Amino acid sequence: MKKLLSVLMAGTMALSLAACGSGSGGANTFTFASELDIKNLDSCDADDGTSFNAMHAVIDGLMGLDEDGNIANAIAEEHTVSDDGLTHTFKLRDAKWSNGESVTAQDFVYAWQRIIKNVGNYAYMMGSDGAHITGADELIAKTGSGEELTQEDLDTLGAKAEDDKTLVVTLTSPVSYFEELMTFPCYYPINEKFAEEQGDGYAKSAEAILSNGAFVMESWTPGSTATFVKNEDYWNADQVKLDKLVMNLVQEPTVAAQNFDSGSNDFAPINSDLVDQYKDDDAFITFKEGYLFYLQPNFQNTDLQNLNLRKALSLAIDREDFATNVLKDGSIEANGFVPEDLSIGPNGQDFRDDAKDFTTYDLEAAQAALDQALQELGKSEITLKLMYGTDESPMDTMATYLQNAFTKLDGLNIEMVATTKQDRIYVKQANGDFDISCTRWGPDYGDATTYLNLMKSDNVNNYGKWVNADYDALMAQISTEANVETRWNLMLQAEEMAMNDYVNIPVFQKGTSALENPSVKGLVFRPVGVPYTFNYVSKEA
């Protein structure tokens, strides 16, 4: 019987695993297949779900998740907030790094300063696009202008170690989801002495990372396997039932499924090509992820500056057909830029229920919009390059579907540009070397701004270079608005403003199909932040 798992309001749930494989490595080993590799375990640099899974297995932040997927204390034993919501005080429990040193408040201060100093991928999360920590925006502005920060500069950040066990964080604005933010890897602690000794090699091998979490990384062969063993000195070791966690890396879904059938995997995500084969099997489950797959037009392309051209692209996509009949993995059509099951408003409604629907399929209207665009641009036809990563499934499937959809429009030619995820993001998008990029975003926290911030003119992920002063002003108002109802309505307005301009073109919200082992229970899945938590996994004999 097929099992359908739904995502709860805060985006948390626990998966009770059920399937037919026995898994490898014995009763207390859990084997998890991943299509991608671990980039590294450095909170300053890692930016993908696989790396986050590995990092979360070995490192605890201030806050974590309980066995039901709810936000819970981790390294922070106590957390208090001032009446104005601007000062957060964390009292740390007695916890140790795997080299025997105590975890201290300074470990958090160092890590947070380090990500800003090194212009880390998630440095923006320290400022008004995330935690609103005092001084962060000013420091980020300095590094953005090429200035090298001094220690005196870094000490202006509003994160202070009052003593070894007391961390005080001051904010510029109240953040209602601050505890949830503290579960995200960019806020994890780092042992300064160890990291400095490792230098550029920090967190790039099993020997170059310390653990204060449930597991210690035992070995890691990039592109193959990573193994983790239980951390006997973990502060919550009594809750950890596994002796070993194995991640089988870079396993193409067909191979992962074969290994599951042979008992070598306990958990194996599969792709759309395998759904029909397994959909009636007790091993088969589907659940919604938080990822939104969308098109990012490059506004530096003079053709794509035309509103009607962008409108034509959106109208030409039959999202329901693609999600239901092509992907078949629990994915759903995207009706806006903020996904379902991400954020709940003060009225108890999901953001998507309160917001308008901004997408529809109408090929005749798409052709009319394109004809209008061609007339406005003074052209008889337009050629656009559609870029996608071949190693970020199902991006290639989406790109092929979109190519077929767009070429139904007379006067529009599509050239496919196949590359890798790393090249797509850090070379071509970063340098503006694209027309339309097939891209995706996974939510960092359970609030609509984790998506809406992407379209601010100064957001580092705004590779399309859309600039709208009214939108920036609206987002600035949202960032400081204390009234929750007012703030909610402002976010609805912000999405509508961006979607009416087709800034980004949402396509679908990702679902996952997977095969699960019946003897395994307690894997916690969360579509926000770190996808999987392995701390509570148990395996019946």
Same domain, 200 and 312: no
Structure confidence at residue 172 (pLDDT): 96
Q: Of 172, 205, 238, which marks where a domain is finished?
A: 205
In a domain, 46, yes or no: yes
Same domain, 316 and 191: no
Q: How far apart are CA 421 and CA 390, in angstroms?
A: 7
In a domain, 7, yes or no: no
Q: Pairing mode, if any, of strands 284-297 and 3-5?
A: parallel
Return the amino acid letter for 251: Q
Tell me the pLDDT tens digit for each residue of 102-134: 999 999 999 999 999 999 999 999 999 999 999
Reduced to 3 states, what is the DSSP secondary structure of residue 512? strand
Same domain, 377 and 499: yes
In a domain, 215, yes or no: no
Structure confidence at residue 26 (pLDDT): 56
Please give the mean pLDDT across all residues of the chain.
92
Q: How far apart are CA 141 and CA 185, in angstroms?
A: 22
What is the strand order of the sheet 523-525 is part of? 13-15, 523-525, 532-533
Tell me the pLDDT tens digit for each residue of 227-260: 999 999 999 999 999 999 999 999 999 999 999 9
In a domain, 434, yes or no: yes
- Identify the domain containing residue 417 by its residue range: 289-511
Q: What distances in angstroms separate CA 508 from CA 282, 290, 321, 372, 391, one per listed residue?
A: 26, 11, 11, 27, 18
Q: Which two tokens stand for residue 314?
A: 């959106």
Structure confidence at residue 529 (pLDDT): 83
Q: How far apart are CA 193 and CA 216, in angstroms?
A: 19
Structure confidence at residue 508 (pLDDT): 97
Q: How far apart are CA 108 and CA 127, in angstroms?
A: 16
Same domain, 303 and 168: no
CATH code, domain with 109: 3.90.76.10
Element (H, E) at 244: strand 244-248
Q: What distances in angstroms separate CA 316 from CA 361, 400, 404, 407, 409, one per listed residue?
A: 6, 14, 10, 9, 8
Q: Are the C-beta atoms of 395 and 438 separated by less than 8 Å?
A: yes
For the residues 278-307, what does the mean pLDDT come to? Answer: 92
Domain count, the chain: 2
Q: How far apart are CA 257 and CA 246, in angstroms?
A: 16
Asked whether the predicted pLDDT for residue 5 surpasses 60, the reply is no
Tell me the pLDDT tens digit for each residue of 330-341: 899 999 999 998
For the residues 268-289, what does the mean pLDDT come to? Answer: 88
Same domain, 182 and 329: no
CATH code, domain with 500: 3.10.105.10
Same domain, 302 and 190: no
Same domain, 320 and 450: yes
Same domain, 74 and 195: yes
Same domain, 49 and 196: yes
Structure confidence at residue 540 (pLDDT): 78
For the residues 29-34, what does the mean pLDDT come to? Answer: 96
In a domain, 418, yes or no: yes
Same domain, 310 and 177: no
In a domain, 532, yes or no: no
For the residues 166-171, what does the mean pLDDT come to? Answer: 98
Same domain, 195 and 303: no
Find which of 222-236, 506-520, 523-537 is predicted with most confidence, using mean pLDDT: 222-236
In a domain, 527, yes or no: no
Q: Of 185, 205, 225, which marks where a domain is finished?
A: 205
For the residues 424-434, what does the mean pLDDT come to? Answer: 96
Structure confidence at residue 518 (pLDDT): 85
Q: How far apart are CA 135 and CA 138, in angstroms?
A: 5
Reduced to 3 states, what is the DSSP secondary structure of residue 430? coil
Same domain, 296 and 437: yes
Bond before 394 cis per omega within 30 degrees: yes
Asked whether the predicted pLDDT for residue 17 surpasses 50, the reply is no
Asked whether the predicted pLDDT for residue 9 surpasses 70, the reply is no
Q: Of 176, 205, 234, which marks where a domain is finished?
A: 205
Reduced to 3 states, what is the DSSP secondary structure of residue 297? strand
- CA gyration radius for the chain? 23
Reduced to 3 states, what is the DSSP secondary structure of residue 373? helix
Asked whether the predicted pLDDT for residue 6 surpasses 90, the reply is no
In a domain, 268, yes or no: no
Which residues have CB under 8 Å from 426's CB, separation 6+?
none
Tell me the H-state helices in 145-247. Answer: 151-154, 178-181, 192-198
Structure confidence at residue 530 (pLDDT): 87
